[in-house]
Amino acid sequence: MTTACWINETLYPDWGQRFLLTRELARTKSEFQEIVIFESASHGRVMVLDGVIQITEADEFVYQEMLTHVPLLAHGSAENVLIIGAGDGGVLRRVLQHAKVKRAVMVEIDGEVIRLAKEFLPAIALDAWADRRAEVIVGDGIDFVRRAPDGSFDVIIVDSTDPIGVGETLFTDAFYRHCARVLTHRGLIVNQCGVPFMQADELRETSARRREFFPHVTAYVAAVPTYVGGFMTLGWAAKDPTLAASHVETIRHRASEAGILGTTQYWTPEIHVGAFNLPPYIARHMPAG
């Protein structure tokens, strides 16, 4: 009789989720982190970095749609998009769904994540890697923004690991200062800010930091089943304070023009606009004013 093999997430010392493993597909220690990809009985294929669940085939649509469609449709005419992290390719795929996008630059620090995602998680990025508008760079996101020209991007999407280890530099003043310089006058940046019920510091500190460089800082929420602990927050920092308050019919019209309407499983114009209404236990971590 074979014994069941469980994979336990080690994000929180005193609480967590587990997956029944049906097949281990890859396990390696890269220059930056331990990468494991396995087949689960419940959520399809799953990628884990240093013991933390990054993505599952079953629920990746929630996070990827909200991290991509919300900033691009709020902006309304984004042509040049910078993606930092996101080595699984899911954000790249969603960005390239937008007809107005002319250039999508993705900067991922760990080439092994991209290689293993292509081999074992092809359903996440599909054919985005081959799109002529995509530029995929293996490198540190902070080095890229340091070198990028002023005003060269409309939207920056940071899909990184938490502010521990390699991801830490992406939550620093230096990073946000350069991001503000690299963005156009209507530019905005979004990033994963953790699950505030368990990781309130990440949201509070990140938002306070960005308030130094952007006139408008807030967050919006999404319910991602395998980012356990309730709402996931996506941090928002914009040069134009009106972008987060777009009208639902404006968003619907833009989504139709972009070719997004009817292609999503979580994002809708109503979910988009509603996601900025933060419950008090989250809103209190936003910077005043």
Three-state secondary structure call for residue 113: helix
How many of the other CB atoms lie within 10 Å of CB of 215? 12
Element (H, E) at 61: helix 60-75
Binding mask 13-42 for ligand SAM (x = CB under 6 A): -------------------x----------
User: Cβ 248 to ligand SAM, closest distance in Å?
Assistant: 27
Three-state secondary structure call for residue 246: coil
192 contacts ligand SAM (rule: CB under 6 A): yes
85 contacts ligand SAM (rule: CB under 6 A): yes
- Residue 86 or 148 with smaller CB distance to ligand SAM: 86
112 contacts ligand SAM (rule: CB under 6 A): no
191 contacts ligand SAM (rule: CB under 6 A): no
Torsion angles phi and psi, residue 272, rounded to 5: -55, -55
User: Cβ 47 to ligand SAM, closest distance in Å?
Assistant: 7
159 is catalytic: yes
Given 101, 107, 183, 258, the residue binding ligand SAM (CB under 6 A): 107
Given 50, 59, 65, 140, the residue binding ligand SAM (CB under 6 A): 140
Given 72, 92, 105, 113, the residue binding ligand SAM (CB under 6 A): 113
Separation between Cα atoms, residue 178 and residue 148, nearest integer Å: 8
Torsion angles phi and psi, residue 15, rounded to 5: -165, 150
User: Cβ 113 to ligand SAM, closest distance in Å?
Assistant: 4
Strands across the sheet containing 232-238: 134-138, 103-108, 80-85, 153-159, 183-192, 232-238, 216-222
- How many chain residues bind ligand SAM (CB under 6 A)? 25
DSSP-assigned letter for residue 93 = H
Separation between Cα atoms, residue 270 and residue 266, nearest integer Å: 11
Binding mask 162-181 for ligand SAM (x = CB under 6 A): ----xx-xx-----------
218 contacts ligand SAM (rule: CB under 6 A): no
Catalytic residue among 50, 88, 154, 159: 159
Using CB positions, name the residue nearest to ligand SAM. 85
Which residues contact residue 281 at a Cβ distance below 8 angstroms, ignoring those fewer than 6 apart?
Answer: 196, 197
The piece of 4-12, 103-111, 199-207, 277-285 that touches ligand SAM (CB under 6 A) is 103-111
User: Cβ 199 to ligand SAM, closest distance in Å?
Assistant: 11
Separation between Cα atoms, residue 91 and residue 14, nearest integer Å: 31
Separation between Cα atoms, residue 141 and residue 151, nearest integer Å: 17
Which residues contact residue 131 at a Cβ distance below 8 angstroms, ignoring those fewer than 6 apart?
Answer: 96, 104
- Residue 113 or 183 with smaller CB distance to ligand SAM: 113
Q: Which spans of this chain sit near ligand SAM (rule: CB under 6 A)? A: 32, 54-55, 63, 84-88, 107-110, 113, 140-142, 159-161, 166-167, 169-170, 192
Residue positions annotated with a catalytic role: 159
